[in-house]
Amino acid sequence: MSLSKILSFAVVAALFLVVISTVTAVFAQEEQTQRFLFIAENENGKVWANVTLTLQRTAEPYLPMVVAVENHAKKSITLDRESFWLSDLDDIVYIVPSVKEVRKNYSKTVMDYKTISYAGIPWENWRWTRRLERSNFFPDLRASASGNTVLDRVTLRQRHAMVSLFYFEKPRTLAPGKPFFLVVRPKKGWEIPIRMRLVLS
């Protein structure tokens, strides 16, 4: 075999290994993303849940979770604390508690805001296109007066969105690998709520 053919073969083999490595890295990244990001949608809208903090707080009385909602319906929707809840396989509901209750019984809100992750949620795109509506269901205690104000009633026009850190009562059956659900049902505007299946591992 000539030297040129040997070199050509070596180049092709090297390129093949690069492609395989790239594909493997992409699948590994997608698998890693799926561990902390969940997405559900229907014709009404789309919901994202980043459970990075959730995975770190399973021993606490409340579960922190970054939740984002985008409205796809033509009519505007209104979201408040009663629009979000968790449920388990027995359909027991776990609500969003009040800010006062969480601050009284949970000591890690400041730490949560230091390590919060919005990865996988397109909030920057919404902000740059002026479709991100302000919300602040559980304010950061370190924030200024304006940033420490509770904003727990949000109106979303079509294609507008919101993202906020939520706290939920912890499901009593919570366990690694056991499904539970996040339900989002606006006060008005959607006929069918979005029900997202979550599994912590």
> Can you give the pLDDT at residue 147?
62
> Can you give the pLDDT at residue 140?
87
Cβ-based neighbours of 93, under 8 Å, separated by 6 or more: 85, 86, 87
Would you give the DSSP letter of residue 190? -
pLDDT in tens, the chain (201 residues): 554 544 354 444 444 443 333 333 333 334 444 589 999 999 999 999 999 999 999 999 999 999 999 999 999 999 999 999 999 999 999 999 999 999 999 999 999 999 999 999 999 999 999 999 999 999 987 766 556 789 999 999 999 999 999 999 999 999 999 999 999 999 888 989 999 999 998
> Can you give the pLDDT at residue 146?
59
Q: Hey, which residues does 161 pair with through a beta bridge?
A: 70, 132
The verdict on domain 38-198 having CATH code 3.30.160 is no
Residue 34 parent element (H or E) = helix 3-36
Model-level pTM?
0.81
Give yes or no for a contact between 163 and 67, defined as CB atoms under 8 angstroms apart. Answer: yes
> Can you give the pLDDT at residue 201?
86
Domain residue spans of the chain: 38-198
- CA 130 vs CA 72, 84, 127, 162: distances in Å: 16, 24, 5, 11
- Tell me the one-letter amino acid at 152: D
> Can you give the pLDDT at residue 35?
82
